[in-house]
Structure 1
Amino acid sequence: MTQTLSSSYDPTQFETRLYQQWESSGVFRPRGEGEPYTILLPPPNVTGTLHMGHAFQHTLQDALVRYQRMRGFDVLWQMGTDHAGIATEMVVSRNLTAEGKGETRDSLGRDGFIAKVWEWKQQSGDTIERQMRRLGTSGDWTRSVFTMDPMAAEAVVEAFVKLHERGLIYRGQRLVNWDPVLKTAISDLEVVNEEEDGHLWSIAYPLSDGSGTLTVATTRPETMLGDTAVMVHPDDERYAHLIGKTVSLPLTGREIPVIADAYVDREFGTGVVKVTPAHDFNDYQVGQRHKLPMINIFTPDAVTNDNVPEKYRDLDRYVARKAVLADLEAEGLLVETRPHKLQVPRGDRTNQVIEPYLTDQWFVQMDGFAKRGLDLVESADGKPGDIQFVPANWISTYRHWMENIQDWCISRQLWWGHRIPAWYDADGNFYVGRSEAEVRAKHSLGTEVVLTQDNDVLETWFSSALWPFSTMGWPNVGLMQERGFDKYLPSSVLVTGFDIIFFWVARMIFMTDHFTGHVPFKDVYITGLVRDAHGQKMSKSKGNILDPIDIIDGISLDDLVAKRTTGLMQPKMAEKIEKATRKEFPEGIPAFGADALRFTISALAGHGRDIKFDLGRAEGYKNFCNKLWNASRFVLMNTEGASFTGAPQPRTDAERWILAQLAKTAAEAEQHFASYRFDLLAQALYEFAWNNFCDWFVELAKPALNGADAAAADSTRHTLLHVLERLLSLLHPLVPFVTEELWQAVAPRLGIAETTIMLRPYPQASDLANTDYARAEADIEWLKAMVSALRRVRSELNVAPSKLVPLLLAEGNEADRARAQRFDSQLRFLTKLERIEVIADAKSAPASAAAVVGELHLLVPLEGLVDLSAERARVEKEIARVAGEKEKSEAKLAKFTDKVPAAVVEQERQRLVDWTTQLEGLAAQRAKLG
């Protein structure tokens, strides 16, 4: 154990060392005893690096894990990473290009490329896990699961097969989000919709009977080549006579019907809408209702195909647009072109415009799952649902998505991922099974039948949906027993962001229920989005991204600029970001340490939607860690050679007061952990640590430590050590490193058996508040007020710290005089008093600097201390301040109505009495100054 501390707080000297000790000791693993407490880590992408969103959520999860571990629970924090199909393929493809060997994804072929991916994963794929360790993540790394591991892969195959056998997975042709660069379907979460400048083109469609035209408006004129109808509102009298007729689709020679559908907004444009079912999600629904043909006009890379007239074939979609517009204008059918703001969907990986694209995909039928998913979270018969959302309002978002659900597209046109367990024969018939051998046996397919496995893989959300039970060994009974399936499922809480409530949370709920009969977790704590100090979303294009590792370990200005501008294609944007970065961080970012970052995150973690992260807060909490360090050094220096066991038996009021404050803080901590109010927890612990312990108790202990009463001095040493040890334990879940380092120096002096603070019992109010210290609390609050008032007077008079001054006490009551006598030595020591003298009344005192505590007047004679004219000015300034406060109190009381609680009214009346007393005392003092 560490016995000494360095003279200054430097987190770089011990944070990494301590983490290595923790992990190697095995303390992160479940202990096998006590009630289970489980948290599932939302598996980050194996390609990724730790960002502020990760740091935010991981800090809160780690705080819960450390807290429950100290409470004696059998804690499992299930770690792992996601194989991230699209992102990983992109990373490895870029690496192949950078190597310059001429190898590409396609040249290597499927098996060769997948081998390269595994090679990359072994070399670089654990970056984010190393960074998580630097943050202090205390999960069980020995149980970490990668979603492509054999255990997880077995669960994926089993789930797919079972769902297909039950008729819940089917293959069909539907519209999906299609990335023409990646050539795969992507999820809604991977589509970024941003407003951009575009155009709205109005096009005349001639009626087939030659009686006129119908004008439609579109932002994508090239898609008209795939139109299969034009549409009007059934109640629109302007077009009622045209319903059922046909128009001649320009440039194609095809005739398409005029249909009626309530989807049309009669007030927008002309009230006539073109219908392209294969290239628009809303049109697709219309097409389904009216049984319209689906004409796909694009290849997978967004080039026109053979379904368009020959002159428009093999053209990029935007080249085709220009050709279509030119021909429409030449034929006199382009009615109008005007600027138009529109929401453009782009792939978050490629930044390419996403095409609604009609393809054959695999889908999960969602109707039954959606209903069951709602049942599990909704309250019924006055009882809460099986799963609770925190904050509770997020259940509305969950409910909205589940009530408006579509079948789930689970296939992706990639190579890296869980390959779909389906095989096709030469006629296109497909067979689903756990293996080709099983398929052949089940369907009596001999070796003469050639089978080819589906080329597609499952999207990563499918395997992630199984995370609560695939990580527990399901469906392998032996692995389930080994990994504690029955013990650790359901987990206690899921901590995740609001943006994946549907994509992940909902899917885990209905999949876990379907396959295991359990809910996956009892609570879902939803965090907000981390923004910069100005409330702006962090993004590369804005150059405002903060890397948590840079905050922990620091980064030079040049390196920060290089990181923020690397890869930006526009020089002007890079120049703008560099300029802003150099202005905001002229000396780079200093090393704040993991604890300062973690405490900042905890302090910001309220129940709102957005979190504004300010580095100034991190600096403040680094100062907090430094304050804790210095206070601990004071305690250790003043308890050198001491050894105590058991709870202290306090002999002084200061000890009783701090023990009472400790018990109250422990009770608050328990309450805030239970309600996931990390912001209130951080506030309570900060207040107790900084103000009550580091400031006041350290000061109040000095008279006893330096006094003649040996028993009081010894008792105070015991209490200092005891409260510091319990304070470090209270803080440990939020700031694990500095508390461990300090605790290692404190614990030996208290005869503590545990080798790490991580295994110490978390302070419980019931164990601490076993004596009534109410009188001591009141007395110490009085003493604090006296000391503060006298120090303020000394400061305002600019009296040298070493100079002793007399104190005259006037007015007050019997309790004041009794306290003044009892705390005589403490007041002398703490405020450098020459003597304390009680006088008949304030009027009889010589010219003095005055302060008032309650009804007691504190008078410091000015003779020989100050310039009287300066003191007159000081007192007049104080009179003005107190008079202002008195007027505010009077105004409040005047405005109070009968609806104001009596306690509030009484509190304000007491304030008015206090301000009036102070004002009278100050007025008397001013009169004495002449």
Structure 2
Amino acid sequence: VPIEPYLSVQWFVKMKPLAKEALKVVREGKIKFHPEGRFEKTYEHWMINIRDWCISRQLWWGHRIPAWYNEKGEVKVCKEDPSTPEEKWTQDPDVLDTWFSSQLWPFSTLGWPEDTPELKYFYPTDVLVTGPDIIFFWVARMIMAGLEFMGDIPFKHVYFNGIVRDEQGHKMSKSLGNGIDPLDMIEQYSADAVRFTLIMLSSEGQDINLGERSFEMGRNFSNKIWNAFRFLAMNAEQQWDTDFQKYEDYFTLEDRWILSRLQRAIQNTTQGIENFRVNDSLNAIYHFFWDEYCDWYLEMIKRRLYHAEKEEEKKTALAIATYLMKTSMELLHPFIPFITEEIWQNLRKEGEESIVISAWPEVNEPLINEQVEEDLRFVQEAIGAIRNLRAEMNVAPGQKINVFYLASPQRSALIEASKPHFQALAKIETISPLPEQFDRAEAGVVVVQSTEFFIPLREALDLDKENERLEKEIKRLEGLEKASLAKLSNQNFLQKAPQKVVQAERDKLASIQENLTKVRKNYEKLFGA
């Protein structure tokens, strides 16, 4: 069947006068795009090169064009049917383009064209959240319509989120069958986990490559929060106390450190939200809660919870831990509302109703202490370095070891004051200054901020078993190295295999050789060349 072009009468809107003002408000910063500096050029390109807009569509559904024709071919544009007993007028059968109707959204939803209280109060709105793929179809047209019909911008900020794609980066569609039903994910992982994962993966308007297993990170974080709360509940025996400041005389280094770190988390979380960096905001409170509160502070206070010399020491640790938990729930609530409300309801004071209407946490400047943060950072790095050395030297995880240190007077005092943390978290029997007669040649050593820590290897290891293990490991790695070198010497492999495969083999060889060097070094240190 031959296809022939068909000329028809259509309705157009002259766009250049509208685009001129719409371009101006963005250039002057009255409307700001987020992330900044990324989509302004796209917007400008559309506005500068704009053409007249064909707004009529030959469809069944839509706002019908308010144009009327009489038998003489005359045209009237009006709201009501202009027909009279003497003259019949017929309405144009076309409807308006969907985007023409959509551009009216910021004010038509508030009662326009009537001058309603809602329109006066809410217009212009604050933030529009949308995708960058409709920056011209919707965003630009809303700006033009707002300026034309309302005489003002429709919103102050436009936040462009990324597009959710499948794991291979393809756009999700019904035809490809690669979509993920969010209701199924909520059923499997929880609504909080779905919200958390999507926010965590959305960075500065970047597209998200999403698979079903991606939501495990959200579920794991929810479990971490719940387990931390259960730990507190078991120790507090439901006697919740968040008034930590009355215990100031009993504050320890880790107490002052975590309170200081909380202020940083409040600051960074708040700034992230205010600056439309939602991913950064969630990252700030996420890393504080998991890395600092759970992994360090809760571990450090166990000694006071189980073996406190004074009851006030236990109460101090619990009050601070509970205050931190409650404040963390308030910071996390915009991202994961359900579990945070549940926990907050357990911790709330009399008269407090819901976390939704609770005050947003504010930074308490006097609690910020840079020296304390620096001191505890040293303790953390030292414990981490000792743990790593234990692992490298294959010291059994449960085996207690002796550690010696060589440090400045200031660092020595800090180490001595932090002995319980070294003993509990690095599995140390004793930690003491380095004796003059110490044989450094038979010790593993790590250096942390100019402070040296020594582990006497002959004490820490069963030398016969370690000799046998290292010899086996050297033989195993030498075999892997030989096989990899042979593969990379094969010209057929180098020429025919995909470049990715060849590079992967080279990376594999580099890793094998690095591990082999480490194992040989450990063997020579213990048993000689």
Whether the TM-score (by the shorter chain) exceeds 0.5 is yes
Aligned to 2:152: 518
Task: Tell me the C-alpha RMSD between the 2 structures.
Answer: 3.2
Report deviation, 1:825. Answer: 3.0
Report deviation, 1:370. Answer: 1.5
CA–CA separation in structure 2 for the residues paired with 1:924 and 1:461: 70
Q: Is the 8 A contact 1:810 1:842 kept in 2?
A: no
Report deviation, 1:418. Answer: 2.2
3-state DSSP of counterpart to 1:624: helix
Aligned to 1:817: 412
1:661 equivalent to 2:261? Answer yes
3-state DSSP of counterpart to 1:856: strand
Relative to structure 1, is the Cα distance of residues 625 and 357 closer, same or farther in structure 2, using a 3 angstrom cutoff?
A: farther
3-state DSSP of counterpart to 2:102: helix
CA–CA separation in structure 2 for the residues paired with 1:762 and 1:515: 37
The higher-RCO structure (CA 8 Å, 6+ apart) is 1
Report deviation, 1:645. Answer: 4.8
Q: Is the 8 A contact 1:532 1:614 kept in 2?
A: yes
What is the TM-score normalised by the length of structure 2?
0.81
CA–CA separation in structure 2 for the residues paired with 1:928 and 1:475: 86
Task: Find 1:630's aligned residue among 227, 237, 240.
Answer: 227
CA–CA separation in structure 2 for the residues paired with 1:517 and 1:638: 61
Aligned to 2:215: 618
3-state DSSP of counterpart to 2:416: helix
Report deviation, 1:529. Answer: 2.6
Report deviation, 1:467. Answer: 0.9
Report deviation, 1:407. Answer: 2.0
Which residue identity is paired with 1:824? K
Q: Is the 8 A contact 1:600 1:617 kept in 2?
A: yes
1:467 equivalent to 2:123? Answer no
Task: Find 2:362's aligned residue among 760, 764, 773.
Answer: 764
1:786 equivalent to 2:424? Answer no
Could you list the per-position Cα deviations for residues 575-613 of structure 1 after superposition, in whole angstroms to 9, with x for gaps in the alignment? xxxxxxxxxxxxxxxx12222222222122223553322
Could you list the per-position Cα deviations for residues 71-121 of structure 1 after superposition, in whole angstroms to 9, with x for gaps in the alignment? xxxxxxxxxxxxxxxxxxxxxxxxxxxxxxxxxxxxxxxxxxxxxxxxxxx
1:533 equivalent to 2:182? Answer no
Report deviation, 1:717. Answer: 0.4
Task: Find 2:22's aligned residue among 355, 365, 373.
Answer: 373
Q: Is the 8 A contact 2:265 2:284 kept in 1?
A: yes
Alignment of 1:352-501 (within 5 A): 357-378=6-27, 384-391=28-35, 392-436=37-81, 439=82, 446-477=84-115, 480-481=116-117, 483=118, 485-501=119-135
Report deviation, 1:702. Answer: 0.8
Relative to structure 1, is the Cα distance of residues 772 and 496 closer, same or farther in structure 2, using a 3 angstrom cutoff?
A: closer
CA–CA separation in structure 1 for the residues paired with 2:290 and 2:168: 28
1:602 equivalent to 2:199? Answer yes
CA–CA separation in structure 2 for the residues paired with 1:448 and 1:726: 75
Aligned to 2:448: 853
Q: Is the 8 A contact 1:464 1:504 kept in 2?
A: yes
Which residue identity is paired with 2:42? T
Task: Find 1:639's aligned residue among 236, 245, 255.
Answer: 236
Aligned to 2:2: 320
1:740 equivalent to 2:389? Answer no
Aligned to 2:312: 711
CA–CA separation in structure 1 for the residues paired with 2:359 and 2:112: 34
Q: Is the 8 A contact 1:806 1:861 kept in 2?
A: no
Report deviation, 1:429. Answer: 2.3
Q: Is the 8 A contact 2:244 2:316 kept in 1?
A: no
Aligned to 2:421: 826
Relative to structure 1, is the Cα distance of residues 928 and 410 closer, same or farther in structure 2, using a 3 angstrom cutoff?
A: closer
State the identity as a percent. Answer: 37
Relative to structure 1, is the Cα distance of residues 760 and 806 closer, same or farther in structure 2, using a 3 angstrom cutoff?
A: same
Aligned to 2:480: none
CA–CA separation in structure 1 for the residues paired with 2:417 and 2:56: 79
Task: Find 1:799's aligned residue among 393, 396, 403.
Answer: 396
Which residue identity is paired with 2:361? P
Report deviation, 1:756. Answer: 1.8
CA–CA separation in structure 2 for the residues paired with 1:537 and 1:646: 51
CA–CA separation in structure 1 for the residues paired with 2:170 and 2:263: 40
Aligned to 2:502: none
Relative to structure 1, is the Cα distance of residues 842 and 610 closer, same or farther in structure 2, using a 3 angstrom cutoff?
A: farther
Task: Find 1:593's aligned residue among 179, 183, 190.
Answer: 190
Report deviation, 1:461. Answer: 1.6
Report deviation, 1:526. Answer: 1.9
Structure whose residues are more often helix by fraction: 2
Which residue identity is paired with 2:193? A
CA–CA separation in structure 2 for the residues paired with 1:757 and 1:401: 44
CA–CA separation in structure 1 for the residues paired with 2:112 and 2:252: 60
Alignment of 1:24-423 (within 5 A): 319-320=1-2, 357-378=6-27, 384-391=28-35, 392-423=37-68
Q: Is the 8 A contact 1:420 1:455 kept in 2?
A: yes
What is the TM-score normalised by the length of structure 1?
0.48
Q: Is the 8 A contact 1:374 1:402 kept in 2?
A: yes
Which residue identity is paired with 1:506? A
Report deviation, 1:523. Answer: 1.3
Q: Is the 8 A contact 1:872 1:929 kept in 2?
A: no
Q: Which runs of 5+ in 2 are unaligned?
A: 474-519
Could you list the per-position Cα deviations for residues 307-342 of structure 1 after superposition, in whole angstroms to 9, with x for gaps in the alignment? xxxxxxxxxxxx237xxxxxxxxxxxxxxxxxxxxx
Q: Which has the larger radius of gyration?
A: 1
Could you list the per-position Cα deviations for residues 329-364 of structure 1 after superposition, in whole angstroms to 9, with x for gaps in the alignment? xxxxxxxxxxxxxxxxxxxxxxxxxx8642222222
Structure whose residues are more often strand by fraction: 1
Report deviation, 1:505. Answer: 0.8
Could you list the per-position Cα deviations for residues 466-525 of structure 1 after superposition, in whole angstroms to 9, with x for gaps in the alignment? 111111112223xx11x2x22221111211111211111111111111111110011112
CA–CA separation in structure 1 for the residues paired with 2:158 and 2:196: 22
Relative to structure 1, is the Cα distance of residues 773 and 460 closer, same or farther in structure 2, using a 3 angstrom cutoff?
A: same
Report deviation, 1:752. Answer: 5.8
Task: Find 2:183's aligned residue among 541, 545, 549.
Answer: 549
